[in-house]
Structure 1
Amino acid sequence: MLATLLTPLLRKLLDRIDAGLAIGAIEVTLPGGKPRRLGGRVPGPVAVVAIHSWRALWRLATAGSVGWYEAWQAREWTSPDPVPLFDLFMRNRATLGDTGRAHGFTRLAKRAWHWLQRNDRDGARRNIAYHYDLGNDFYAPWLDAGMTYSSALFAEPGMTLEAAQHAKLAAILERTGTAAGDRILEIGCGWGSFAEIAAQGGRKVHGLTLSTEQKVYVDARMAAAGLDGVEVSLTDYRDIAGSYDAVASIEMVEAVGEEYWPAYLGTIANALKPGGRAAIQYIAIDDAIFEAYARNVDFIQTYVFPGGMLLSEERFRAIAAAQGLSWHDRHEFGLDYAETLKNWRERFDAAVEAGRIPPEFDPHFLDLWRYYLMYCEGGFRGGGIWVAQVTLIKD
């Protein structure tokens, strides 16, 4: 009822979106069936959206990406393919401004909630468990056979997901500059795919995780492979002592939070021998919108990964330099992440259809994860977020 009463204001929101679409277009069907085209002045992606209730726009106006997801779950809007819509909002990030972000009391409430999810030692364990301890049987049906849950590197056209994941892991290993007998600290070891290839080459790997499910999996994996050079511990990165020839960390820093970037980089600097290398794979967001992003709490932080935060490369690099870590050989491959996510979603949908996802995950939860995979894919296609590898060398 409220959304209906506010229809004139919600139409103005559509006007703002129309004006803000500098590239691409949205073909909208409004409640009641009236069509409207937003944007379309410069060629680009075209999204098709049916808005079934004005409440969907009210949710977007007040709660941003969180409200838009909640409207999708409530079937207040639908689309044959939401990925182009998320692409458009990211691609037009400068001209759309805060159109897709929470406002007013909703934003303040969500920021207060997000602060309670910060990654101190207790919070980090809780947040990691929330995401990764969904269970190995949840992830196994749709990740690649190596159980690698980070962007693949499609180095050549036509590569399979498995081959592209191996290419990514090989690139990280090469960045460490290590040889057989060297010791590598892996901060955030996942399900052990990097540790396995490093150990196969004779390296000794100490993997850190806060996920009990991951530790159980990695221990069994290394035992089955006959690799005794891998030690996995349930250890917070801030509690690491000792000296290592190299550090590897693949998409773990997004779980750290800006407040703890100095601690994370300080751990790397302290762990490395002089001249040692850290191979980092990270997800960053356009520095031009980082402040606006950091002031808000988005859909992923609310529903998928509490405590998460993408990097500001400018800020992160400055902190690294202050810790005596110089920045080398950055390689960005954001569209590869879009392809990785597309592969995951296709595998996820096939696993759901075949009944290979554990039955405790109900349709509402499965829809959440399908939306999450589409939301992320669109973000990477839109270019405002990207994945990159960099080598940090201890001075």
Structure 2
Amino acid sequence: MGGPAPSPHLWPDVAHVPTVPVKARVAKSIVAQAVRRLPVRLAFPDGSTWGAGDASAPVMELLRPTHLFARLGADFRSGFGEAYMAGDWNEGAGTDLAQLMTPFAARMSRLVPVPLQKFRRFVDSSMPHHEKNTIQGSRSNIERHYDLSNDLFGEFLDPTMSYSSAWFPDHIDSPDDLDLQKAQERKIDGVLDYARVGPGTRVLEIGTGWGALAIRAAQRGAEVTTITISREQAELARQRFDEADLGDRIDLRLTDYREVVGKYDAIVSVEMIEAVGEEYWPTYFATLDRLLAPGGRVSLQAITMDHERMLATRHSYGWVHKYIFPGGLIPSLQAIDETLAAHTGLYVQERRELGLHYAETLRQWRTRFNQRWEAISDQGFDETFQRMWNFYLAYCEAGFRTEYLGVSQLAMARRPELGR
């Protein structure tokens, strides 16, 4: 039923089922009301079902419903994911996990009845102090995800080792149009084109990843400085630079963005702002402004969400923070614009939306992850880890597919009235 029991040592909050009978009953009532109009079916062990879905609807198989409701009662924001990790529920036979989660994502802001939403501040957990994105806190947060293992990411990413949304053709006419490597290279070129990177351009990349963008920029003839705070990524990126015979054109530094000095014609960063934290957004954008040379351009790729949803959830600490991205907060486009206006001379000059492209990227990652699971498990990762990553990838895919989440490429320049 859902696989081996989670290790209490590795997964203490997953192995332990909370005892909260009153809260569990409340959670059960909320779930019953939430799925009443959802096109899904919740199948219970006794053969009964909840939900408005017909025979073709995605099925959520409740293996241990009392455990699920107890977890939701104890922590509504983390309990659903922890229940999946524990094997308390599964996607039904013939149901894809992202397909099952899509109806929930489409109605995310309305799942909890409106009268109860005003009590959010009393039940939401807040971010632990050690996960705040100080210079030391940022290093610790990044290590918990990106330093898991280069070999792990190598199993399911494409050969560019790009861990961010790809950019596929707008019209898919053949299987070749879904080639992930080509789509990642197209995305990288889109970021570099927005920053007008060419021969002799002094480029600063914030967030090296495994080096694909820095390599592409250097191949264009740019002088590249790329920074990261992930030691694991830095080690492999340096190796990739040398293999591409570009080590002399790329200066990789293990440092925080707040510690950089100098002037750059182009500043690029792909899906790094989500790890900055709201209280540091002014510092982050002011740093871009300080480092940008006259006439320069900034090009960012950023995951985004609706502004009102961001305001409602920005102080919440949920499953994704706890298990995947500690310290993270997805900004809204409005929040980016407001921070730029209040703390910099920059503004967004151009924008490109890639939200549905991220859904396809995540679908391919999840397929590859499961196809390569035997090799991944040989690295020492257990089945609870597999279920955690399946939930994470499917949860995100559903979010982008329903446009609960978005992703934008943003070209920034100095406001014309500043004359610099």
TM over 0.5: yes
Structure 2 residue aligned with 1:325: 346
Is 1:49 aligned to residue 68 of structure 2?
A: no
Structure 2 residue aligned with 1:133: 147
| Pairing partner for 1:154 from 168, 172, 182 | 168
Amino acid at match of 2:180: L
Is 1:210 aligned to residue 229 of structure 2?
A: yes
How far residue 205 of structure 1 moved from its aligned partner, in angstroms, is 0.8
How far residue 223 of structure 1 moved from its aligned partner, in angstroms, is 1.0
CA distance in 1, matches of 2:281, 2:20: 41
Structure 2 residue aligned with 1:13: 30
* Alpha carbons 1:62, 1:104 under 8 Å: kept: no
Structure 2 residue aligned with 1:67: 79
Change (3 A) 1:10 1:222: closer
1:199-240 deviation line (CA, Å, top 9, x unaligned)? 011001110100011111111111111112111111100111
Amino acid at match of 2:414: K
How far residue 71 of structure 1 moved from its aligned partner, in angstroms, is 1.1
Q: SS state of the match for residue 393, structure 1? A: strand
* Alpha carbons 2:24, 2:73 under 8 Å: kept: no
Q: What's the % identity of the aligned pairs?
A: 34
CA distance in 1, matches of 2:120, 2:407: 32
Q: What is the number of equivalent residue pairs in this alignment?
A: 385
How far residue 11 of structure 1 moved from its aligned partner, in angstroms, is 4.6
Change (3 A) 1:61 1:6: closer
CA distance in 1, matches of 2:337, 2:346: 9
CA distance in 1, matches of 2:277, 2:25: 39
| CA RMSD, 1 decimal | 2.5
CA distance in 2, matches of 1:202, 1:344: 31
Amino acid at match of 2:233: Q
* Alpha carbons 2:301, 2:409 under 8 Å: kept: yes
Matches within 5 A, 1:245-256: 245-256=265-276
CA distance in 2, matches of 1:72, 1:165: 31
Structure 2 residue aligned with 1:344: 365
* Alpha carbons 1:28, 1:38 under 8 Å: kept: no
CA distance in 2, matches of 1:25, 1:257: 35
1:83-110 deviation line (CA, Å, top 9, x unaligned)? 13332222113432479999779945x3
* Alpha carbons 2:127, 2:327 under 8 Å: kept: no
How far residue 314 of structure 1 moved from its aligned partner, in angstroms, is 0.9
How far residue 147 of structure 1 moved from its aligned partner, in angstroms, is 0.5
CA distance in 2, matches of 1:212, 1:261: 24
Matches within 5 A, 1:93-104: 93-97=108-112
Structure 2 residue aligned with 1:92: 107
CA distance in 2, matches of 1:134, 1:295: 26
CA distance in 2, matches of 1:312, 1:105: 21
> Please, which runs of 5 or more residues in structure 1 have no aligned partner?
none
Structure 2 residue aligned with 1:82: 97
* Alpha carbons 1:17, 1:96 under 8 Å: kept: yes
CA distance in 2, matches of 1:36, 1:180: 61
> Please, which runs of 5 or more residues in structure 2 have no aligned partner?
1-17, 416-420
TM-score, normalization: structure 1?
Answer: 0.91
Amino acid at match of 1:47: P
Is 1:189 aligned to residue 208 of structure 2?
A: yes
TM-score, normalization: structure 2?
Answer: 0.85
| Pairing partner for 1:226 from 216, 223, 245 | 245
